[in-house]
Amino acid sequence: MFKALALKELREAGWLALVAAGLHLAVVSNLIGLNLFTWLPMFPEKINELPFTGTSFTGPFALVGCVLAIALGFRQSAWEGMQGTYLFLLHRPVARSAIFATKIGVGMVLLLLVNCIPVLWFADWAATPGHYPGPFEWRLTEPAWGWWCGFPLLYLGAFLSGIRPARWYGTRLYPLLASGMLLLVAEFLSPWWTICAGIALTSSVLFATCIRTTIFARDYS
Amino acid sequence: MTDAIVTDRLCKSYGGQLVVDQLNLHVPVGTVYGLLGRNGVGKSTTLKMLAGMACPDSGEILLLGEDAARLSPATRARIAYLAEGHPLYKWMTIGQIVAFTRSFYRSWNTDLVDKVLDHFSLSRKARIGRLSKGQVAQVSLTLAIAPDPELLILDDPTLGLDANVRRDFLESMIQIIQRRGRTILFSSHILGDVERVADRVGVMIDGVLRADCPTERFKQAVCKVIVDFGRSPPTVPPLVGLLGDWQLGSRRELVFVDFGVQQQAAIEAMGPVRIEVVALNLEDAFIEYTRGARRPLPIFTGESFDVQGLGAQGAA
């Protein structure tokens, strides 16, 4: 049952992850000088600064990761409501919380998996002698991992916005706005990573609790 | 347990407007119950609350003896719910949606699924998004019956289907419900369909269940009385069971619940030239019963509106 649910979620949301993975790989391939996607506008060219220290990697990485987190969150929550298929899915003989936990589990795995690939690839390239004429330490990747840890927060905010009933779209987006602000605060405090991790973890638990409350309290149509 | 569905003072409002008002519904086991009402009277909301898709503001629901608010997966497996419009995943093929749905159930009648799909000439390779509305309804019905449910809640299952497909769908439904002890609660706007399959009907008006009685009883109880005065008709005094009163030239058309000796005597006292009592089919009875009442409507109850006791005592 959970396998079938997970496969359904993968089929419905997996293409978003594939698009994001493609964009990440295009950015990294340009940065490391493969020059496969130089014809694409707005894409960075071969890196000329110490890897991970500027915005040449972190900027596109954060942008693609944030867009993927929001898109995944909405795709897995609001889209099902728009199609009316919640009425079909939620009547199956399984706890409602288990259905949504599976959805979120699949979303999280996709999000974290797709967003760790470019960091690992770029770090591996930078760590390999002869690629970049400068020292490399794994500590340099911390800003990227900071964003990586923050993406789930944005995903949960988007998911909650997608299932939350509201009178109009503006107020529906409050959880997404809140998660976005929390993510920015966490990034601002990233040098103090324990505070940053605490904010991300506490906020994620809060959003997960709100999602659990909402799925039982709302009406489906 | 004698009732498959019991609701107790069920209420639901949207934006301050009461959509379902103090609903007390009892559907006995083995009954095919047709829930009727005009658009927006709360039928779909009622069925959604029963299926757990909408939260009641107050009141209680028991399904197969279990509180619907805390329905266990095991009990939910004994209940099928077909939502209005038959929402299914359009990207799936019939084979995929069958496999997907099957994964949730311990009991699944594969032979029945194969036979029903074959009966409807549906290929397992066909994509849901490419099927006609009628075919989607057929797939939906197939998925609903495959776990052999004891209770089926169907929200306007024939909505949007053409006459042939509707007939086919209903005949399949009749075959399915022939299993003893299976209970079906369905809403529909097609009164002919309801008349064909329902043992009992409930009529909702403005969120209130106004009638709840056997189908035959409802048809027999509501009648139209055409009174021709041969002159300008006098005003009809308030009479027990009088639902509607329309003037057409020298005639008055009166709609009654439980038209009897008392009402007949009162009309004869007005000096008419002719009195004609017209029996109604379910559709006409429903229309007359629900169209713009000018007086408070009598509330039928299961006991006082028993088919044996036709007479004025049934009306409030």
Output DSSP code: residue B166. H
Instruction: Residue B132: name the closest of B95, B157, B171, B161 by CA.
Output: B161
CATH 3.40.720.10 for the B3-206 domain, yes or no: no
Average pLDDT of span B236-251: 84
Set of chain B residues whose Cβ sits within 8 Å of the Cβ of A91: 51-53, 76, 79-81
**Residues of B with Cβ-Cβ distance to A8 under 8 angstroms:** 89, 100
Nearest-Cα residue of chain B relative to residue A219? B54
pLDDT of residue B312: 35
Return the residue in B72, B89, B136, B150 with the most chain A beta carbons within 10 A, the one to mutate for interface testing: B89
The minimal CB distance from A91 to the residues B81, B99, B100 is found for: B81
Q: Is pLDDT larger for residue B302 or for residue B52?
A: B52
Chain A hits for B54, CB-CB cut-off 8 Å, are 219-221
A28-42, B9-23, B58-72, B101-115: which has the minimum mean pLDDT? A28-42
Please spell the DSSP secondary structure of B15-34, one letter per residue: TTEEEEEEE--EEETT-EEE
ipTM of the complex: 0.86
pLDDT at B294: 45
CB contact under 8 Å between A1 and B99, yes or no, is no
The model's confidence at residue B298, banded by pLDDT at 50, 70 and 90, is low
Is it the case that residue B84 has pLDDT exceeding 70? yes
Backbone CA torsion sign across A5, A7, A10, A15: negative
The CA distance from B157 to the nearest CA of chain A, in Å, is 14
Mean pLDDT over each residue of chain B, to the nearest integer: 84
Name the residue of chain A whose CA is nearest to B140's CA: A88
Q: How far apart are CA B154 and CA B51, in angstroms?
A: 10
| Integer Cα distance of B259 and B163 in angstroms | 34
- Nearest CB partner across the interface for A84, out of B52, B85, B104: B85
> How much of chain B, in percent, has pLDDT values that exceed 90?
37
Q: B93 and B124 in contact (C-beta within 8 Å)?
A: yes
pLDDT above 60 (res B255): yes
Confidence of residue B313 (pLDDT cuts 50, 70, 90): very low
List, as ranges, residues 3-42 from A with C-beta within 8 Å of B: 3-5, 8, 11-12
- Check CB contact under 8 Å for B104 and A93: yes
Q: pTM of the entire structure?
A: 0.84
Mean per-residue pLDDT for B152-170? 82
CB < 8 Å to B154, chain A? none
Q: Kindly indicate the confidence band of residue B178, based on its pLDDT and cuts at 50, 70 and 90.
A: low
| A88 touching B (Cβ < 8 Å) | yes
The residue ranges of chain A whose pLDDT is under 50 are: none
Rounded Cα–Cα distance for residues B228 and B249 (Å): 9
- Tell me the mean pLDDT in the region B60-86: 91
Please say whether the beta carbons of B6 and B61 come within 8 A.
yes
- Residue B299: pLDDT band with limits 50, 70, 90: low
Chain B residues close to A3, C-beta within 8 Å: 103
B33-48 pLDDT, tens per residue? 999 988 888 999 999 9
A24-38, pLDDT tens digit by residue? 998 888 888 877 766
Q: Is A127 on the interface with B (CB under 8 A)?
A: no
Q: At what angle do helices B94-102 and A2-31 cross, to 10 degrees?
A: 120
Q: How confident is residue B252, by pLDDT bands cut at 50, 70 and 90? A: confident
Distance in angstroms (rounded) separating the CA atoms of residues A162 and A104: 12
Residue B300 has pLDDT above 70, yes or no: no
The whole-number pLDDT of residue B306 equals 40
Cβ distance of B100 and A8 shorter than 8 Å: yes
Query: Does B91 contact A at CB distance below 8 Å?
Result: yes
CA distance to partner chain B, nearest, from residue A205 (Å): 24
